[in-house]
Structure 1
Amino acid sequence: MNGHTLNLARTALVLIDLQNSNVKRELAPYSAEQTVGNCVLLAQEMRGRGAMVVYVRVLLNELPTPLADAPMRPPGAAAPPYDASELAEIAGVEATDLVVVKRQWGAFYGTDLDQQLRRRGIDTIILGGIATNFGVESTARAAFDRSYTLVFAEDAMSSMDGEAHGFTCKNIFPKMGRVRSTRAVIDMLQAGTGDA
């Protein structure tokens, strides 16, 4: 595989936390509509080429709530409604997609994601989702530790803080893989091969 193509038989698209709770947030630098729209474009391209699409969602009521200076959910806060953890309808999940349920920020710990990918011969992951510096970055770090090749669709992810998104995409992700626009990733897929 060179820098401009992807081996479709060995590549999976992994989309993080495109669920009701996240798509209703104010995001930056890309709106939820822009972010999810780009994720949907990537998923359609992957499916159309017979490649693997994975949606990951987090069970918000089961996320750890450690003592922290700035907890995600302060002690005593009301639990989120159940449907907050459901994948948003606009995310475009289809019956052929794999759905992984997690209870942490990252998609590997405590799930069968690694096993599902390895069984299919996947060695390359395209990442997108919400939020860049939480679920996407945690998943990327775990994937990097497991020696996956990584491609980051920079405008198919966003965060609650535009500066945090920018820092991660400029300073962390380029050390782990290739950071590209959705359009550039689609070009890579269209130039890719189906060879095993």
Structure 2
Amino acid sequence: MSISALDEQAALIVIDLQVGTVANPTAHPAGEVVARARELLAAFRRRRLLVVLANVDGTPAGRTEYSEGARDFPPEWKQLLPELDQQPDDVTLTRRTWSAFAGTGLAVLLTEGGVTQVVLAGMATSFGVESTARDAYDLGFNVVLALDAITDPNPHAHDNSATRVFPALGQTGPVSEIITLLGER
């Protein structure tokens, strides 16, 4: 499905484009995902719309098949990519959860700012991006997923999220379509 419209008060949330995540193998070239995210960042900043840069610095305390509790990531691992050209007006969120909403106050910040729609980009499709999209949808935000600015370590997980989960949570399309819609507002 293509994107039908962008709300007047849309925000861009870029998830986990940081040193540690882009160093891992991904389903799509990380450099291309970062380049598309940069295009979105520039377009949102030109229109003075809210930009949120979310990174992750560890894991929560729960036991999983992968670990026995909370982990801290090395300081260099969690650094946002310089290519994102972080600006003073950008909101930065550091978390230990999959979703950019969990425990960060993001929902309040967006609601108080009058934001009604979020555009999502980043990594990993089936973890941080999908979790954030699910929470945004559940909180009543209109959700847009920039499919060519998202990737995952697992191609099958990416495809499942992009083709089965995301259409139930919002609208999907390429960065070029989002930028065109921003220009039409």
Query: For 2:63 and 2:117, how far apart are their aligned partners in 1?
Result: 35
TM-score (norm 2): 0.92
Instruction: Give the counterpart letter for 1:21 in structure 2.
Output: G
1:66 aligned onto 2:101: no
Deviates more, 1:87-96 or 1:111-120: 87-96
The within-5 A match list for 1:31-110 is 31-60=29-58, 63-69=59-65, 71=66, 74-75=67-68, 80-110=73-103
Instruction: Give the counterpart letter for 2:40 in structure 1.
Output: L
Query: For 1:25 and 1:189, how far apart are their aligned partners in 2?
Result: 32
Q: CA deviation at 1:5?
A: 3.0
Larger Rg over CA atoms: 1
Contact 1:27–1:159 (CA under 8 A) maintained in structure 2: yes
Contact 1:5–1:191 (CA under 8 A) maintained in structure 2: no
Contact 2:41–2:84 (CA under 8 A) maintained in structure 1: no
**Counterpart selection for 2:145 from 130, 146, 152:** 152
Q: Number of paired residues?
A: 182
Instruction: Give the counterpart letter for 2:6 in structure 1.
Output: L
Instruction: Give the counterpart letter for 1:4 in structure 2.
Output: S
Aligned to 1:115: 108
Q: CA deviation at 1:75?
A: 4.8
> The residue matched to 2:140 in structure 1 has which SS?
coil
Query: For 2:5 and 2:14, how far apart are their aligned partners in 1?
Result: 20
Instruction: Give the counterpart letter for 1:25 in structure 2.
Output: N
Q: CA deviation at 1:80?
A: 3.4
Q: CA deviation at 1:86?
A: 1.5
Query: For 1:176 and 1:131, how far apart are their aligned partners in 2?
Result: 17
TM-score (norm 1): 0.87
Q: Percent identity?
A: 31
Instruction: Give the counterpart letter for 2:4 in structure 1.
Output: H
Query: For 2:32 and 2:61, how far apart are their aligned partners in 1?
Result: 30
Query: For 1:190 and 1:68, how far apart are their aligned partners in 2?
Result: 45
Q: CA deviation at 1:79?
A: 5.3
Unaligned runs of 5+ in 2: none
Aligned to 2:119: 126
Q: CA deviation at 1:135?
A: 0.3
Q: CA deviation at 1:141?
A: 0.7
Instruction: Give the counterpart letter for 1:27 in structure 2.
Output: T
Unaligned runs of 5+ in 1: none
Q: CA deviation at 1:65?
A: 4.6
> The residue matched to 1:109 in structure 2 has which SS?
coil
**Counterpart selection for 1:177 from 151, 165, 170:** 170
